Structure 1
Amino acid sequence: MIVRSPYDDIDIPDVGLPDFLFGDLGDAADRVAIIDGPSGRQVTFRELAGAVDRFAAALGERGLGRGDVLALFAPNNPYYPVVFHGALAAGLAVTTVNSLYTPDELAYQLRDSGAKILVTVSPFLDRARAALREEGVAVRETILLDDARDDATTPMPESTLADALSTTAERPQVTVTGDDVAALPYSSGTTGRAKGVVLTHRNLVANLVQIDEVFSVSPDTRIMAVLPFFHIYGMTVMMNQGIHARAAVVTLPKFDLAEFLRVIQEHRIDRVYIAPPVAVALAKHPMVEQYDIDCIDVIFSGAAALDAELGHAVGRRLNCKVLQGYGMTELSPVSHAMPDDRPDLDLSSIGYALPNVECKLVDPETGEEGVERGELWVRGPNVMREYLNNPEATAATLDADGFLHTGDVATVTDDGVFSIVDRVKELIKYKGYQVPPAELEALLLTNDRIADAAVIGIKDAEGEEVPKAFVVLQQGADLSADDVMSFVADRIAPHKKVRAVEFVEQIPKSASGKILRKDLRARETANA
């Protein structure tokens, strides 16, 4: 049985994302588009659109265009949308890279995506240069958003964004359609190592017009953008939604509570997008009382499940609406949301399916459809095309009827309100970041003192899901829990770190050799 959105279907423009966002600025040309939170520097829509055109021209001068990929490895800043949309306007696709990635993780994404040009910032140069020396990386030039180069030997030419924007060339005459690839963010999907998610211009345009129906964002809105633009949540819901609505987007390069509160107070931000860990600080930290942030109207939480009581505590303390929604990178990302005009909905729910979205609840064991509680399958114009270079993973996630199998278990009321109640997939969500257990297990097994290992998500003292490793030592080996955690931490991005270790005699496995994580979770519950 298909559950349809309660909203009427809407038309999705068949147009490239840059033209959709910048094609007609109208009265908004001289309005503020981007504000750099730390410095307060402002960029108007006219200035932003002009810089997008010049960056597209600079890429065209370099012989880059349709079919090529630009990798963007940077924190949030006013130049991020210039590079992102300039590349799209020139016909390229953009693969956005996690700012926390190690050189090995960066090199993997550069190789897998086939990126030919890398845009980054000087504080990331050491990692970038190390990645570019890896075999199989096709990048031929690095562009810095700032200009703090040193005299270090570089593996290839380096230039600056200022150099690129000084071009006098015209924007290349590239016809970008909705079917062209726009973005290649990386996601672990329902399991396994990060995979490139192929999102088209139509996917991204569709999700913007879909969320228009449930979010009340206008040119008078000021949006806080502290969650990273490299993540699809920040890319669509903060950066691109702000541009589309002609709202002002205020950027912060990272979350620091004092700076976060200062910027909200100074710029009178009324719409704040967060992940649940930020809600903990807003509900409990005494520093919040030191700032005048009564300007906030809506706090919207995504990227991971928000505890309802925590959300209500934030709402009471800040006297604002607290809402949440649901999505995945593979969904561009939003498929469900609590609308701005329905703060009365159960905050433990994810609200309604967006316009043009169809859903099924399917028993993950039997395949029976229309069950009261089942895996959430989603179909709509925002569903990805495929996983890059990975037909097997695509086939396992996206079926012949166009339904994406989310790996999350949901329920739905007669009124069409969905709630996520469990998880089929093995993915761990740490502070909104995806942590695939299989990747950590593979890394642990490279330690010659570890015979076997398994990783599951457990709750820490603050209710946050964190990776815990169950480790079987080689006979006669001596290794402490701290040794295990340090071994992992030295080789992987901080959000993927193992944060608890238990030594066991053996890892429970099925007859086929698959790790029985449910047995480890049961063991954890019994010992709690």
Structure 2
Amino acid sequence: MSPAPLKMEGRVVVLQQRPPTPPPSAPSPDPRSGFDAASRTFHSLRPNVSLPLPDRPLSFLAYVLSLLPCPLPSHPALVDAATGHAISFADLLSRVRSLAAALRSRIGLAKGHVVFILAPAGLDVPALYLALLSIGAVISAANPASTPAEIAHLVSLSDPRIAFARSDSAGKLPRHVAAVLLDSPRFRSLFDGDGEEVVEEEVEQSNVAVIQYSSGTTGMVKAAALSHRNFIAMVAGFHATREPKAEVFLLGAPLFHSMGFFFLLKALALGETTVVMGGRGGVKQMLQAAERYRVTAMTAAPPVVVAMAKWPEPLDLEALEHITCGGAPLPEASAVRFMRRFPRVELRQGYGSTEGGGISRMICKEECRRVRSAGRLSHNVEAKLVDNATGERLSIGQTGELWVRSPFVMLGYVGNEQANAITFDANGWLKTGDLCYFDEDGFLHVVGRLKELIKYKAYQVPPAELEHLLQCLPGIADAAVVPYPDEEAGQIPMALVVPQPGSNLSEIEIMDLIAKQVAPYKKIRKVVFTNYIPKTPSGKILRAALRNHAVFNSLSRL
């Protein structure tokens, strides 16, 4: 089904329903690869997970309550990594109920109202998230490190009724946005309850739950609307494959980030203890928290995994069983180095997006050995690979743009029908913009971004493929590949390389080593050494920033 139009009316997200698309005929996928030759689509090799009937009113919080045991778990729900302060599940839910009632009666929030949140991670933020979801309000969280101009743009996209922010970041909000300070007596008083009656709000699964912002690394930031059902569907798969014992989960990703937001909700729904970093410190503080609280699982962006593999000091991570790594590609050499240092820890790589949710992941030690892949398709996900030039559906081992369809896929972009028309086809397939292929065992391999292809003569060269090869070379700490103008070829692949200390690799040696591993049109034809590669906190190369890179600019002036 193509996405329903999303627009803002009086600071309420309005969802206009469209008639459903008739269901496709039953597929017959190959049990090894998941490929259905008749429809030329790939299907998840995981067992299908049953979901609540879509027309049943059900907020995400109500779904969480249906999963939690009775009596509630006795271990903490949340722990502040810096202070050790903990909140039990009973106290958390009590705080959520009091806050939900106060948000309606004292703040005036109602179903569909958008609430902008600008704050680092802290123990109050999960309660605020759950309270807003329970009353049908829409969460729109952003990075408090953003500039006032960036925040103004996000506010213009989501048009919030009110904002919640800390006193050190509230000044970045546009003047017309009223704000409640999270570190103020007024906010603290909202947890008091004051005997207010809790009135349950009927929330449909199709209602907008969250507005998240696409990364903007390759284009303008857009506001993606996700429903309560999107999160219910994703959590259902983790619940079906949950560990028999309760985990102590270290949340390394920020709570405003799509990955951090989801894994927080997942951990609470599965009754896990979540150790919240609170935005204080870097890798060292994360590792200290992992040791101190004997965490069994954690999320980690690729830069954290790389740092752990090279950490110069002894680490006591005996309790750690698995790490979920996502947000950007992890170099194969770094994955291998990590597995050698921590042979007992499963390095579970995955692939997803703000728009498409958790598309693929690894779930066991056997799958984790496929370090060059992003795992297998998640439950209830179907995919196809499309040749961007001909529109032909491709098969196993062929590279094309990945299209996906699942209950995780966003409703659409708010107020941007042009982007929706480009992103979705008439049958509800989400075009990811990523170039991928599936191997014969159903593992997804991400080659690069369609928009980032280097056009060398009549050939298309994916930078990510060359970056992976460069990062595997001894003597190279990091690398990025960008298009460089060439009068004859149009563009040539140019490598920006960060050498390791003491490395003697020359430009010619690097080009020769890569040339031996790729087709002639993919060869790197220029190498420049630099001190750093600009990246997002999750490890994605900032392609737009590379265009302003000092090295690139100096070359452009030659």
Q: What is the TM-score of this pair, normalised by structure 1?
A: 0.76
The answer to whether structure 1 residue 298 and structure 2 residue 325 are counterparts is: no
What is the distance in 2 between the residues matched to 1:267 and 1:504? Answer: 48
Q: Within 5 Å, give how 1:380-459 maps onto structure 2.
A: 380-426=406-452
In 2, are the aligned partners of 1:213 and 1:355 still within 8 Å (CA)? no
Q: CA deviation at 1:206?
A: 0.6
Q: CA deviation at 1:78?
A: 1.4
Q: SS state of the match for residue 327, structure 1?
A: strand
State the match for 2:47 in structure 1. 8
Amino acid at match of 1:39: T
Q: CA deviation at 1:402?
A: 1.0
Amino acid at match of 2:51: I
State the match for 2:135 in structure 1. 90
What is the distance in 2 between the residues matched to 1:188 and 1:314? Answer: 27
Q: CA deviation at 1:144?
A: 2.3
The answer to whether structure 1 residue 132 and structure 2 residue 174 are counterparts is: yes
What is the distance in 2 between the residues matched to 1:355 and 1:258? Answer: 35
Instruction: Rate the CA distance shift 1:422–1:379 in 2: closer, same or farther, 3 A.
Output: same
State the match for 2:498 in structure 1. 461
Instruction: Rate the CA distance shift 1:25–1:458 in 2: closer, same or farther, 3 A.
Output: farther
In 2, are the aligned partners of 1:58 and 1:164 still within 8 Å (CA)? yes
In 1, are the aligned partners of 2:59 and 2:205 still within 8 Å (CA)? yes
Q: SS state of the match for residue 59, structure 1?
A: helix
In 2, are the aligned partners of 1:336 and 1:353 still within 8 Å (CA)? yes
Deviations 1:144-168 (A, max 9, x none): 2223xxxxxxxxxxx6421211232
Stretch moving more, 184-193 or 167-176 = 184-193
The answer to whether structure 1 residue 373 and structure 2 residue 387 are counterparts is: no
What is the distance in 2 between the residues matched to 1:347 and 1:28? Answer: 38
State the match for 2:79 in structure 1. 35
The answer to whether structure 1 residue 67 and structure 2 residue 112 are counterparts is: yes
One of 180, 197, 220 as aligned partner of 1:143: 180
Runs of 5+ consecutive residues of structure 2 not aligned to the other structure = 1-39, 454-462, 468-490, 501-532, 534-540
What is the distance in 2 between the residues matched to 1:417 and 1:373? Answer: 13
Q: CA deviation at 1:258?
A: 2.5
What is the distance in 2 between the residues matched to 1:224 and 1:460? Answer: 33
What is the distance in 2 between the residues matched to 1:210 and 1:351? Answer: 15
Amino acid at match of 1:146: D
In 2, are the aligned partners of 1:228 and 1:234 still within 8 Å (CA)? yes
What is the distance in 1 between the residues matched to 2:244 and 2:154? Answer: 36
Runs of 5+ consecutive residues of structure 1 not aligned to the other structure = 148-158, 431-453, 464-484, 486-493, 508-526
Amino acid at match of 2:197: E
The answer to whether structure 1 residue 178 and structure 2 residue 205 are counterparts is: yes
One of 166, 171, 194 as aligned partner of 1:121: 166
In 1, are the aligned partners of 2:64 and 2:269 still within 8 Å (CA)? yes
State the match for 2:88 in structure 1. 44
The answer to whether structure 1 residue 248 and structure 2 residue 292 are counterparts is: no
The answer to whether structure 1 residue 361 and structure 2 residue 382 are counterparts is: no
What is the distance in 2 between the residues matched to 1:328 and 1:458? Answer: 27
Q: SS state of the match for residue 175, structure 1?
A: coil
In 2, are the aligned partners of 1:219 and 1:247 still within 8 Å (CA)? no
State the match for 1:198 in structure 2. 225
State the match for 2:360 in structure 1. 336
In 2, are the aligned partners of 1:312 and 1:322 still within 8 Å (CA)? no
What is the distance in 1 between the residues matched to 2:218 and 2:426? Answer: 20
What is the distance in 2 between the residues matched to 1:383 and 1:231? Answer: 17
Q: Within 5 Å, give how 1:223-302 maps onto structure 2.
A: 223-237=249-263, 239-254=264-279, 255-287=281-313, 289=314, 291-302=315-326
In 2, are the aligned partners of 1:410 and 1:419 still within 8 Å (CA)? yes
Q: CA deviation at 1:73?
A: 1.1
The answer to whether structure 1 residue 309 and structure 2 residue 329 are counterparts is: no
Q: CA deviation at 1:5?
A: 0.5
Q: CA deviation at 1:270?
A: 1.2
Q: CA deviation at 1:247?
A: 0.6
4+ residue runs over 6 A deviation: 427-430, 504-507
Q: SS state of the match for residue 287, structure 2?
A: helix
In 2, are the aligned partners of 1:12 and 1:206 still within 8 Å (CA)? yes
What is the distance in 2 between the residues matched to 1:207 and 1:425? Answer: 28
Count residues in correspondence: 434
Q: CA deviation at 1:425?
A: 3.0
State the match for 1:321 in structure 2. 346
In 2, are the aligned partners of 1:208 and 1:241 still within 8 Å (CA)? yes
State the match for 2:62 in structure 1. 19
Deviations 1:105-136 (A, max 9, x none): 11221222111111122332xxx224222xxx
State the match for 1:502 in structure 2. 552
